[in-house]
Chains A and B, each alone.
Chain A
């Protein structure tokens, strides 16, 4: 069966500090991978998605970037965090073809102070 991990589970960072969130998927190959942010009172917002190693598409211009160094690893980064970057970050995966459902990881709660 497939499993998706996110690390860390919670993070408190000062404004202006860098960020690196990691997502890994087990039990599948060539997944599509996604980063979402969930802010209080708002729906999940797609930030980035990737259909393969090194292939990143950005949905929302912002202070964040994403990378996919390996087939089942997806990383969300920032060079300098803003207060507005606080939120619940969710990684999701989908099989490359055949089904449309996206499956979510446990999330990372980021608080920028």
Chain B
């Protein structure tokens, strides 16, 4: 039972590079989320999706893009990496009005 799977676990990017953080879930959840977590700052919502083909901005969407072509996958795209995007990124999914299940996180460093 895989749950929510994020790849990669770690990545170092140079300023201006781009990358995609992958997230997939096998629980047939409609809701999926991307959060970033910075030391002492809690979780901040970047983007979320309420179903395939539907995405919306969260609290801190600048510098990121998402897509949701299938129920299972919710990739997060960084187009022009900046040092301010150094963070730990968590993907999560939930059913209707139920708890969220989290991936193990991606630790991203932009240098």
**Real binding pair:** no
Chain B positions within 8 Å of A, measured between CB atoms, are none
